[in-house]
Homo-oligomer: A and B are copies of this chain.
């Protein structure tokens, strides 16, 4: 693992901040969750107990293995859907953070044939090829929850090497090479969904939209730091009444 990039903030503090930011910025309501790979052990990940993200505190953070089992003797009740996180961390070693949301402007895209694609530069990290995973294809009529590792693996297969995937009738999953990056992508995925919905209403037809080109998405991805993830993070911390620690 790389040295802790946030001196002064423990990983648990940063994860609590991520929970509060996602609630404050309207990306999650009482449900949805955010995790990070354990900086001390890449075979573990950190995730709150079953609690609304707006209420998460440091003592709520639990440690899980990559099969979704609780590490240690923590008796708290975990999220039923921790297998979303477990399966992706197992499949994707470079992923250091996973966000799962029911983001309000994103969910409508999960039940229609219209594809989501980025139209604004800030939203380039969602990529132009966003799969929509449907639990029904393999598991039939369920409660739509990813409550077993097997279902998580199916979702991870659909996600592949991409940053994000939609989940039909449910929401989406977002990954990042850091906690801040995953939160950033989750926020701007909601922004893109809302803006694209409005653009489609204005357009003369689906062809009357200028999406970001593949070359633009690549150019943005190469130099993503120039978009100032930390500039947004500082702003979100202060809006959520959380301390901000500058990245090293």
The residues of A with any CB-CB pair to B shorter than 8 Å are 29-31, 50-52, 54-55, 80, 102, 104-105, 107-109, 111-114, 119-122, 134, 136, 140-145, 147, 168-171, 191, 194-204, 208-216, 218-220, 222-223, 226-228, 231-232, 234-236, 238-239
Contacts and interface: CB of A to CB of B under 8 A. Distances in A.
Q: Please state the number of chain copies in the assembly.
A: 4
Given A234-B55, A235-B55, A111 B199 contact: yes
A198 B107 CA distance: 9
Contacts of A219: 141-143
A228 B114 contact: no
A198 B134 CA distance: 20
A144 to B, nearest CB: 4
B204 A140 contact: no
B54 A239 contact: yes
A203 B114 contact: yes
Contacts of A238: 54-55
B235 A143 contact: no
Of the listed residues A31, A140, A143, A204, the one surrounded by the most CB atoms of chain B closer than 10 A to its CB is A143
A143 B51 contact: no
A114 B201 CA distance: 10
Given A197-B202, A216-B142, A51 B231 contact: yes
A121 B200 CA distance: 26
**Top 5 A-B pairs ranked by shortest CB distance?**
A141-B215, A52-B235, A108-B199, A30-B232, A121-B144
Contacts of A102: 120, 122
30 contacts: A51-B231, A51-B234, A52-B234, A54-B235, A54-B239, A55-B234, A80-B226, A102-B122, A104-B191, A104-B194, A104-B195, A107-B119, A107-B120, A108-B202, A109-B199, A109-B202, A111-B199, A111-B210, A112-B203, A114-B202, A136-B213, A140-B215, A141-B215, A141-B216, A143-B220, A143-B226, A143-B227, A169-B210, A169-B216, A200-B201
A231 B119 CA distance: 35
